[in-house]
Structure 1
Amino acid sequence: MNFSSFIFLLLFLPITIIGYFLLNKKNHNEIAKLFLFVMSLWFYAYSDYHFLIILILSILLNFGLSVWIRKINVRKLQKCLLALGIILNLASLLYFKYTNFFEASLNQYLGTSFVLKQIILPLGISFFTFQQIAFLIDAYRDHDIIYSFLDYALFVSFFPKITQGPIALHHEIIPQFHDPKRKLFSYESASKGLLSLSLGFAKKLILADNLGSIADWGYQNISVLGTTNALIVILAYTLQIYFDFSGYCDIASGICLMLNIDLPINFNSPYKSISIDDFWKRWHITLTRFFRNYLYFPMGGSKKGTLRTYFNIFFIFFVSGLWHGAAFTFIVWGIIHGIGMCLSKLTKNIMKPVPVILRWLGTFIFVNIAWIFFRSATLSDAIQMIRQLCSLNFAPLSADMVVIGLPSEFEFLQQLIYL
């Protein structure tokens, strides 16, 4: 179900908010959570009920493993169960997200024509898989983490965050469902939520979608761009991906605030960053936190020598690139940021005397170049875009690009209606 669809805005969301608070007001707290869980399942199953089966099986598996880990007192067996849970979660993610990628890659490099049935990626599997891996690791580390099945199932399936995040942790969400103050409707929280919702739709529908039209046109016509148009296309995508993703997070946060629930912040003005290190403290904050707490630190972090530290950093970003998408372009994007992060750490003291404006400019240029690989359909497209940028062919602005980037009167009115 799309957040901007009429069925969501005019039917699903009002029913959910009214039903949740009415049940809580009558002290039917468990029924209120059950109601919210059922509504979340409806939201998730709306596009394809097959996805719902996968989600429910994933919830049952991970909750069962967490209970098993807690009840067994033998540490080695607990570690084996944790490893089993992580392997099963990652195997599911790898199957649905990367099988077609591996098949295409093998066919390309081996000259074969092996064909598998096209596998449809379940909505939000990257997000709810990571959330559940984090939960299993926390359950292994701390046996005092005890939730009911309903609490856990609601946390995983909670509709505002399930499809595109943020990657919230169990201790950030579940206790809020038990807080007496949050069970009551709050006009202050609802007004903040409405503001965040409106801001998110403005970012998404007015800014991101129109900038996306420019980026789409540019990446479909790379060979005719020249320096000027290539620069505009690259900047358009840089802004599009920020307004699209942060806009979604604003919408999700706004919906949660209407339910008197707080989500963790996921973006903090990332394009103001003055280093790559700074950028990743501001961009997709919850993903960075996940990799830091559940991969970087367990690998040894910075406590096993300089070379191991930089290897750990590089590996984290390699995995991050792979997590973002099943294509070599995403992997290269991750490698670029891995190298950038290592250099950022390595030159931290050297860069301190450099004026802030120059550090900001260097970071912004670096991020823009990396986005070229993220957006391109193939590595050759990315290289071709960089060649166009560096061609010094300062051709006038493309009329087609300008027309495509401006919405028609009807489209603009439609976008305003959503606000």
Structure 2
Amino acid sequence: MADTKQAALQAVKGMNDILPASVPRTEKLPDAGLWLWFETTVRSVLARYGYQYLLTPIVEPTALFVRGLGEVTDIVEKEMYSFTDAMNGDRLTLRPEATAGIVRAMVEHNALYNGPLRIWTLGPMFRHEKPQKGRYRQFHQLDVEALGFAGPDVDAELILMTRLLWRELGLVEGEHVRLELNSLGQPDERRAHREALVAYFEQHAAALDEDSKRRLLSNPLRILDSKNPAMQSLIEAAPTLMDFLGEASLAHFDTVRAILDAAGLPYRVNPRLVRGMDYYNLTVFEWVTDQLGSQGTVCGGGRYDGLIEQLGGKPAPAVGFGLGIERLLLLIQALELPVPSAAPRAYAVLMSPAVLPQAMVTLQALRAAGVSVQMHAGGGGMKAQFKKADASGAAWALIFGESELAAGEVALKSLRDPAVTQRNLSLSGVSEWAAELRNA
């Protein structure tokens, strides 16, 4: 008889499962506990700045990204997961980034009618590219946007917000991550710079690689972002946009810099920093690291004052940033930074099935009082249960035995400090000793 057993299915290459820390895996990826800690930290920091949470669909009309990102960007040309809806023939795309969808939502719902908004979201994005460390086909992004604010003060606020986030996560600015800053000016200033760039690179066409030759007439600014080592000396000598900025653009940039200087935040002005989307103007920035090989950018953003009108809304300024979550968590792992434990405070050891009803009532009371308790399930002797208790990472074991319950008590044993004496606690006073478990 033929073997009809089918091979086990696996995740799509470049799309990863985010598993609990207790589940072993061959590839070293951030576990779910690290993700939850990051998300909790993000929510805390953004709440202090008055940012509101929102969610947008994972699938959007393909035209949104063509119009919003630009037809000649790498994302639109090569990286989007696009398909035709079998029901109605619509062209749809799995979102490759968050900003365009957020702006679409703001326009569709007239969200700025009552004034500017500070908003944020996080979730999965999709790009069809070669998977590598810190760069996946399904990746997750934190996206923060300030919509309707025109001044450089909000540009600086966003950058200072990222510094606070780094500090809350244990990262040190200037050591673990570094800030790079630039101004892209306004469209007319970029057009003049573009003409100068085209003329310059045409004079050196023989030195351009194939990718740069393709971009020369469609998007020459992106040539400045080339990572080809053979072209770096040519790029360094190219005309810089800063030489084409007018008085207003320079004043905007100078104010951003003055605020960062006053806050003691070090940065480097990088005239070759252009970002990957067509919609940016004025301030652009990136936080970079040397700890992740060639994938050095962990956060980037800037101002995009024309995008809301470009996507059909009333003209309104905007500024924001995106942060690659996988890449940032890989950085935290690489630096071996301390991360709060997700372990329960206590582990319940059950000496016999007879203790289960009273044990569960007590554990529910502890959880209601804010104590995290994991209950042993599946039976087993004391030795096996204590082995599980130790592996859980809990600080305490709560031992429910028949004799203890008959006396109206439960035994408390330290799992981390053998010098602490085991003692019995009254089941009628759970609320009193719950605080001790939380804080001890």
Q: TM-score with structure 1 length normalisation? A: 0.24
Richer in strand (by share): 2
Q: Which has the higher contact order (CA 8 A, sep 6+)?
A: 1
| Rg comparison, structure with higher value | 2
